[in-house]
Chain A
Amino acid sequence: QVQLVQSGAEVKKPGSSVKVSCKASGGSFSNYAFHWVRQAPGQGLEWMGGIIPIFGTINYAQKFQGRVTITTDESSSTAHMELSSLRSEDTAVYYCASGISGSYYRFDYWGQGTLVTVSS
C-alpha cells in the first residue's frame, strides 16, 4: 500500500519561501508521479504542478510558473515542492498526491496535507 507522509506545518513571512516534502513508501519510487494540490481555507482544490520522473517531465500551472519548483530525490524516496515570493493568499493546506504506473495523471494516493501560513 502506497503511503505519503508530508512535512509539518510552516509559518512564513511575506516574500519568503517554503519547501514542503512528501516521503513515499510502499512501492517502487521510480514508478511514482507526484503532484501538488493546494486548498485555501474554506475553498476548493487547486492543482499547482506535477512531476513524472520516469518520463523526465515536469508541468506547472501557469498561475504558479516562476514561483514553484517541484523536485524528487530518489535516494530518500521524497518529493519536494518549493514556493517562493510568498504572499498572504498562499496561506493554504498543501497536499502531495501520487499516481503510479498506469495512473500517472490522476491522484490515487494523498499525503495528509501541510498547512502553510503566510503572515507578517
Chain B
Amino acid sequence: GAVVSQHPSRVICKSGTSVKIECRSLDFQATTMFWYRQFPKQSLMLMATSNEGSKATYEQGVEKDKFLINHASLTLSTLTVTSAHPEDSSFYICSALGYEQFFGPGTRLTVL
C-alpha cells in the first residue's frame, strides 16, 4: 500500500502553546487528506477534510479556529493545534486519499 508519514510522532508541550503536525503522502499525490483524533479506548473521530488549494471542511463540533489545517501541496497537509490545552491531548491521525484511504502512523500530543 501507499505510504503516509506524520511528523512528529509524539510531542509534549505547555498549555497555551501551538503545535504543528505534518502529514505527507510519500509515494503518491493526494488532493484530499483527512484528519482524525482518537482518545484512549475510543474510536477515531473525523475532524476535517483537507483539500489541496482550498479551505478545509470541518466536521460538526470541531473548532476551525483552534485546529488550523493547511493543504498547500499535493503531498503535504498540516494541522496546527492553537493555544493547546490539556483536553487537546490525544492521538492525531491523518490519512491521504489515493485509490484507497491510507493512514499515517499518528502523532501523540500531550499538553501539560
A and B interact: no
Which B residues fall within an 8 A CB radius of A? none
Which A residues fall within an 8 A CB radius of B? none
